[in-house]
Amino acid sequence: MARNLEKCLRLVDEDKAITSPGAKVPYYPLVVRKGSGAIIEDVDGNSYIDLLASAGAVNTGHCHPRVVEAIKKQSENLILYTHVYMYHEPIIDLTKELIAITPGQYRKRVFYGLCGSDSNDGAIKMARWATKRSKIIAFIRAYHGSTFGAMSLSGVSLPMVRGMGPLVPEIYHVPFPDPYRTPLPG
């Protein structure tokens, strides 16, 4: 079945003219309009099963009724205030719940970030501080994010890091130990 992509293609061209090329990983000309559960719809009315789930950020499905209701309820009280500068009861409640479901019997603490990239930057700092070692191993073809530290860990593609100058030092990339899909000549 041929899909109409007229509006999507026009908007992609508009976006390319006004957005930094480093801000996208454009694999396909998809301009999302709405989503429900695992289905997303583009601006031309085409429906797709969303196997990306917004890079894992929407793993409950798009517009899950409980998530939508929680967002509505919270937005009536406070939309955003950086938790680094104050305390907030819902964050304390969430932190206690995360600690309760984390396996193991040891003292647990939570650090919140804005994305996976800054979580990986934090992991680099924590690992180097805790071990007093500077070398880090990451896998070839792995993606860890787009902040400078996370990009240094990522071994997904050369174009991602080309022209960025020296990356975070002493990060080494090795093949994932998969005998069926080794990137090395055999």
For residue range 48-94, list pLDDT tens digits in order.
Answer: 999 888 777 778 889 999 999 999 999 999 988 888 888 989 899 99
Contact of 154 with 142, CB cutoff 8 Å: yes
From residue 131, alpha-carbon distances to 34, 66, 124 in Å are: 45, 41, 11
Contact of 8 with 33, CB cutoff 8 Å: no
160 is in which domain, residue-wise?
Answer: 116-174
CA 177, CA 104: separation in Å to the nearest integer?
27
Q: What is the pLDDT of residue 33?
A: 96
Cα distance from N-terminal residue to C-terminal residue, the chain: 41
Q: What is the pLDDT of residue 1?
A: 65
Choice between 52 and 129, residue whose per-residue pLDDT is larger? 129
CA 47, 53, 57, 60 dihedral sign is positive
pLDDT at position 186 over 60: no
Last residue of a domain, one of 30, 49, 66: 66
Dihedral of CA atoms 80, 84, 88, 92 in degrees, nearest 10, equals 120
CA 102, CA 112: separation in Å to the nearest integer?
15
Residue 122 lies in a domain: yes
Residue 96 lies in a domain: no
Contact of 146 with 159, CB cutoff 8 Å: no
Mean pLDDT of 38-57: 89
Residue 162 lies in a domain: yes
Q: How confident is the model at residue 46 (pLDDT cuts 50, 70, 90)?
A: very high
CA 38, CA 52: separation in Å to the nearest integer?
10
Residue 144 lies in a domain: yes
Q: What is the pLDDT of residue 5?
A: 94
Position 84, amino acid: V
Q: How confident is the model at residue 41 (pLDDT cuts 50, 70, 90)?
A: very high
Q: What is the pLDDT of residue 82?
A: 82
Q: Are strands 171-174 and 136-139 parallel, antiparallel or unpaired?
A: parallel
Q: What are phi and psi of 173, to 5 degrees?
A: -105, 130
Number of domains in the chain: 2
Residue 60 lies in a domain: yes
pLDDT at position 155 over 80: no
Residue 44 lies in a domain: yes
Q: How confident is the model at residue 181 (pLDDT cuts 50, 70, 90)?
A: confident
Residue 90 lies in a domain: no
CATH number at residue 29: 3.90.1150.10
- Report residue 181 as tokens: 């899909």
Q: How confident is the model at residue 185 (pLDDT cuts 50, 70, 90)?
A: low
Q: What is the pLDDT of residue 68?
A: 94
Residue 93 lies in a domain: no
CA 150, CA 116: separation in Å to the nearest integer?
9
CA 108, CA 102: separation in Å to the nearest integer?
8
Q: Reduced to 3 states, what is the DSSP secondary structure of residue 122?
A: helix
